[in-house]
Amino acid sequence: MGKLTTHVLDLVRGKPGKGIRIDLYRLDGDKREHLASRVTNDDGRVDSPLLEDDALTVGTYESVFQAGEYLRLKEPDYQDREFLDEVVIRFCVADANQHYHVPLLLSNYGYSTYRGS
């Protein structure tokens, strides 16, 4: 069966993004269902998949990374020039039997993502 995993890399510091809260939602038309909340560990990963087996279904999802909270903790004067707050990555699962790895590569003023393995 499939699973959904993630991790966060702090590109400014060259380290894993530790302590970042991630909220996962499933979207269905106008409905947004909260499925899970996790916090990244010392390695910038969550301790278990966000979804796996029958919980992962075909559809549209959003991972919401609380980047602003993390950046303010790492750099106290970030709030004086704050740019990012919540980073929302919306993605689609087309085959629920596959592994979807959707990481966040984070810096103070930008981010990127990709479908990993």
Predicted confidence (pLDDT) at residue 74 exceeds the cutoff of 90: no
What pLDDT is attached to residue 79? 65
- The predicted-structure confidence for 28-51, as pLDDT tens digits, reads as follows 999 999 999 999 999 999 999 999
Mean pLDDT of the chain: 94
Q: Which two tokens stand for residue 80?
A: 């004086």
Tell me the CA distances in angstroms from 112 to 29, 34, 55, 74, 97, one per residue in order.
26, 23, 26, 19, 25
CATH number of the domain that 29 lies in?
A: 2.60.40.180
Residue in 72, 82, 89, 88 with CA at minimum distance from that of residue 109: 82
What is the extent of the structural domain holding 9?
A: 3-113
Residue 78 has pLDDT above 80, yes or no: no
Structurally, the chain folds into a number of domains equal to 1
pLDDT at residue 80 greater than cutoff 70: no
